[in-house]
Structure 1
Amino acid sequence: MHATFSRELPKADGPRCCVGSTELGRRLPRDRSVRPAPTAVMFRLIALSLLVGVALGKPQGDPCHPSPCGPYTTCSVGGNGAAVCRCLQGYFPQPNTIVGCSAQCVNAQDCAHDQQCKHGKCVNSCVDSPCGRGADCRAQSHRAVCSCPHGYVGDPLISCTPKPEERILQRIEVDPCTQRSACGVNAECRNVGGRPVCSCLPGHAGDPYSQCRRGECAGDDECPSNRACRNYRCVSPCDGSCGHNADCEVRSRVAICKCLSGYVGDPFTSCRRYNPNELCEPSPCGANTDCRVQNDRPICTCKPSFQGNPLSGCRHECESDYECAASQSCRDYRCQSTCSPGACGEGAICEAINHRASCKCPEHYLGNPSTRCYPECTQQSECPNHQACVNLRCVDPCAGVCGINADCRATNHKAICSCPKTMTGDPFVRCRPFEKVDLCQPNPCGTNARCTPGHDRSGKERPVCTCPPGFLGDPLHHCRQGECLTSEECPSNRACFENTCMNPCTRLHCGSNANCEVRNRVAVCSCPAGYSGDPLHNCYANPQRGSRYYKK
């Protein structure tokens, strides 16, 4: 059996095919009794997958999603990135895995005359030994025919026993296989109903009744990887396997035939030259697809805005909103988000309801949600004078700002808190009824001044401010410590020293024998009568008349 790769599939108008619908044919003999073993089918599938690529319009995607394979198949990705279709165990291509796989048989008519259909496979009618003990089984017309051998009687479906007159003879019968001439050299003998049945030993071939000769091999695994065991000989699987204008390559001991470049046809029969354009004329692809020829193969892709399997047909993702989710709408034949950019105006909130965009401005925003939503304010100047811009809204600035019992007045976008005339306290905390002690709390007088509750000339209660002892100044503004700041604030015989009015002579040291006197708040040093000199340093007595120091 050979793996068949053909570029053409039979159609009503003649053989055509595409790469996406590659044929995995089975070159069976006319005798339907010959069926490929599952392992052979698997070899054909693996070999074919190395040659066939399917274009789904998604070069970077998984070629098995969606699966291009037919029923009763599995899809896997081959080493070259192409989809590889394999029949499930016990199934065979019909006629290829793209169309699908099916069981080897459905009824006995699908099998050879000596076989019957069992669990989808053709098996010898006698394989399950349906006959009775001692009976012979002959497969004929898809059924087992049971009969008692010569010299035996009974129901062949139950049991066959020797005829009574032959039982004595049977007791002395010799096993025919013990006779030296029963079988040939290298043959084995089986006693079947008293008759020798000969067959060649494993790995041997020939006439088992004369001589069997040992072969080069008994199975493919005894041959090199590029050879297969045929009639107990290791031969090239390519010998006589491929047709005219076809190349042959051995892979896993299986002949892989393919048409030469520029040729098309059944590589196991004959390949012919072709015009590359004819691979897409008529198109072998499904509906709504494009067909192009690449590397001598037709490549099928979905048309723009279409999707699906290009081998079976492509369709729009949607043609109406109701084919999409409730939050989507059908645009350009695709399901897209209803609230995509531009569905609503600038700054607006979009909500998808039944395939439609519902637009609204955020809370406290102004404007048309279909065009633009904007905040009520972003700066104080955008609000009236008696309001303030808070969190993009023009609101009363007095809300919750002032203390208990306090009054609030909004001015220039600000809250001004004050206690009522009959109350006092912190207007940002609490205002309470006015008491007499409150005249001086807080102290309304100047720095360092004392406050005492009193009355004005009209008898109205008011605070009275005075400077404490040792302080001078205006008690309404500032009281300074001491009697004076300058000497002008002291009597004429006193001068201001360290805020105290004192005799300036106590601060000035005159010379010896000198006197100090205060003149207009200034200390003056002078020598007393009868003395001369510098009063700041020394005064000395004048000399007496007649004295040696006296001068006239």
Structure 2
Amino acid sequence: MRRFGILFIALFGVAGCNDDARYVCITEGPLDERGCFLCQGNECDPQPAPDRTTCLVETDCALGEVCTTIGCVAECQGPHECPIGTTCADNGLCLNPLEEEPEETEEPEPPPFRCQFNFECGDSRICIDGDCLSTCLDAPCPDNQQCIDGACRPCTDQSCLTSCAEDADCAEHEYCSSFQCILDTRPEQFCPENECQPGRICLRGQCRTPCESDDQCARIDATIRFCAPVEGQNLCVRSSEVLAECQLNIDCGLGEECVDGACSPSSATL
């Protein structure tokens, strides 16, 4: 219980603190005399501000409240709209006279758009690692980008691979792939046309065996024991060719390329 001096009671009496059971808030004058009080006669009990809900955004607060640096605070247009321990301040918020005027919290920026599927990116773009990137399967990349795994990516260290339309545009030991010159790591041709053993054919630089059944292939070589269609004809193939994980680099994940039907770390990232 707080008992005020004669001068303070005379001033406070204008507001009615010396009336029976009166609630009043003093917002001006010495700091130690400000506050909200419940008064009985000439004795008044200070009323602290109510506990406030902690918040980060406005949706954390109840209807009619705003999120501030001190928590959720009720909005008001007059003193009778505020809970005990507060009054309607000039900024339209229910505050205790001893509280500093808080700042309203800013709504956080929405997270940047991250794609998940290609269709979210529109025509001629694909979704890789949450970003929509231009494809480079049918057209070259801009000068400040390079084609990696079927997508245009920013150049690393501000340097790009040489653009090309055919192998002749590239330096020695390079070839043109997806409109860019890359190191030629392709296997050399092992067989010119018509230089394989009788009953075998040369396909893509390798002698292959035509077949009619898996048993026929297994009798020739246990490691090449499947008979499967390859470019319009049945040939003996390895299991990796039958159960291929990929056909093109774009079938693989980020940082991978298609090597012998399997996704492997890309030579561009090694």
| TM-score for the superposition, normalised by structure 1 | 0.16
| TM-score for the superposition, normalised by structure 2 | 0.28
